[in-house]
Chains A and B, each alone.
Chain A
Amino acid sequence: MNAIEILGLTKSYLTGFLRNKPKPALQPLHLTIQEGETFGFLGPNGAGKTTTLKLLMGIVFPTSGSARILGHHFHDPGIKKQIGFLPEQPYFYDYLSASELLDYYAQLSGVPKDERRKRIALLLERTGLADAGKKQLRKFSKGMLQRVGIAQAIIHDPKIVFLDEPMSGLDPIGRREIRELILSLKKDGKTVFFSTHILSDAEALCDRVAVIHKGVLRGIGVVEDLKSQTEDKSEVVWQGAHALAAVASLLSESNVAGEVARGVVRGQDLDLLLEKLRREQTRLISVTPLHGTLEDYFVAHTTDQEAVQG
């Protein structure tokens, strides 16, 4: 079953003094996410990631299009029992303790009183906050707040968890803790939809990713497939730095250390480069194929080019 189906959602904001100039924030977006999938929604700042999440959560209303969550219309209040949401850089009521906050959100999600107590204890333990349950949130560090944020998103044991930039602003330890929490959600069989611009996190966690830029979907697929779509390149090392001037036009990057030169060449230019190096009477040391990275794919698809719809 599809966990999330986004059916041509669009959003334009009205700008200008008279609020009569529409500024598109999201072009028609079509996406399907399967149940149990961990899906990364990638894009630079201002790409439309948060707008998409706000639309799905009913915080803003779409200009056109619709979405379905677990087969139900996304504005159906009943379906909201099955979703959890962590906003970007969340702020929680700082006059509450972590336990009180979780109790409040559990109550709003309709969790019965007896179950609430058990779930709160379980989640405080799971997020490493068992000793801080009674502490007011104003005394929490950013990493602790983010962990409380994930706890509130899953306090009602939802099937789908939406996380908006969950690692943003965290130190490496905080990021690792959140990564482990997301992995544990994945192990529990939850569908996780998270937006990020930190590509290493997406690579480590996601089954599939989509890249969005300027409100337009630029690409979607399994991480390995997307990486393989990046340009084929090779690293060539040779002795005879004098030849660099003759081959410089073929190289995307190069450097020299004494008599040894190194250059990176596109796959289609490799034969021509080797031929020229032979003619220049250099001695070839190595040719190493370079694997594409998600970053290559991301950079290639977030430049101003024609969008692809997936």
Chain B
Amino acid sequence: MISRLSAIAFNTFREAVRDRVLYNFVLFVLLLVATAPLFGQISIGLERLILINVGLSAMSLFGIVIAIFVGIGLVSKEIDKKTLYTILSRPVRRWEFIAGKYLGLVMTLAVNATFMTAGFYLTLLVTAHQLTRADAGLLAAIYFIILQFFIITALTLLFSSFSTPIFSAIFSFALFVIGTFAEDLRNFAAMSDGAGKWLVTGVVYLVPNFSALNVISQVSHDVPVSGSLILYNTLYAVLYSAAATAAAVLIFERRNLK
């Protein structure tokens, strides 16, 4: 089982590498390097703050876009091109295929985030001429961004297990946007009454809470992220991703492939 899972995951990663998906980090670094001098012109004190906000937000956005656009093709491409036929005719269970694909894309996104992190710290060093202890605290925000990738990949995989690539992309991106405002939704639920309250509360618990995974503003002001939040967010991301992937497996297990 492990051998089959790792084979599928590694092949997914290899596909992304050979399709030059990881080249986006070059674009990311170029974006930071090109905009860094502009930060200095705004204000010397704000330079670092803006670089962190722009850099980490771009890292999150780049990863989310890759997760969605690679994720929507993970299953549908294998069905359209019939490569799945030669996989399912082997001792590969359908859940192993889904789990392998998920792990492969998550691995791609983690490697991508590692490259982007290196590029980000390099730009920070060039701009500020030094790295301080406080800069290490930024890693918590980057870790949470990777957790966001785990969740959005699982959701994209879930949608692509029953929907067309375009609808999968729309659903996934919509959930990302809604999830980004999960905290506002929570406040709205608290203010609502009656059936509306129940409905909004239900939605709050159903959509991924990306706002809890966004601590960019906090770390850019050198406010440390607590260990309990790291633990809570890790558990949340793992459980949410596992539930979405399990739902994708349940749908895919019953699916007649054309």
Contact = CB atoms under 8 A, between A and B. Distances in A.
Contact of A95 (B15, B82, B92): B15
B150 to A, nearest CB: 25
B83 A108 contact: no
B248 to A, nearest CB: 18
B3 interface: yes
B18 interface: yes
B171 to A, nearest CB: 21
Interface string A159-176: 000100000000000000
Given A93-B11, A95-B18, A95-B19, A108 B91 contact: yes
Interface in A10-37: 13
A193 B162 CA distance: 32
A78 interface: yes
B15 A57 contact: no
Looking at chain B's contact residues, is the secondary structure mostly helix, strand, loop, or mixed? helix
B221 interface: no
A104 to B, nearest CB: 6
A57 B256 contact: no
Contacts of B257: 54, 59-60
A96 B256 CA distance: 27
B85 A85 contact: yes
Contacts of A85: 85-86, 89
B250 interface: no
B83 A93 contact: yes
Contacts, number: 78
Contacts of B90: 80-81, 105, 108-109, 156
B7 A104 contact: yes
Interface in A58-114: 58-61, 77-78, 80-81, 83-87, 89-93, 95-96, 104-105, 107-110
B3 A107 contact: yes
A239 interface: no
B6 to A, nearest CB: 8
B89 A59 contact: yes
A57 B92 contact: no
B129 interface: no
Contact of A107 (B4, B81, B88): B4
A245 B93 CA distance: 68
Interface residues of A, number: 33
Contacts of A293: none
B7 A91 contact: no
A195 interface: no
A89 B81 CA distance: 10
Contacts of B3: 107, 110
A152 interface: yes
Given A60-B257, A87-B86, A77 B93 contact: yes
Given A92-B83, A153-B86, 12 more contacts: A54-B257, A57-B89, A60-B257, A77-B91, A85-B86, A93-B11, A93-B15, A107-B3, A108-B4, A109-B90, A152-B86, A162-B89
Interface of A: 13, 54, 57-61, 77-78, 80-81, 83-87, 89-93, 95-96, 104-105, 107-110, 152-153, 156, 162
Across the A-B interface, the 9 shortest Cβ-Cβ residue pairs: A85-B89, A95-B18, A107-B7, A57-B89, A80-B91, A91-B81, A60-B256, A87-B85, A77-B91
Interface of B: 3-4, 7-8, 11, 14-15, 18-19, 81-93, 254, 256-257
28 contacts: A57-B89, A59-B85, A59-B88, A59-B89, A61-B254, A61-B256, A77-B91, A77-B93, A80-B89, A80-B92, A81-B91, A83-B89, A84-B89, A85-B85, A87-B85, A89-B82, A91-B81, A95-B15, A95-B18, A96-B11, A104-B7, A105-B90, A107-B3, A108-B8, A108-B91, A152-B86, A153-B86, A156-B90
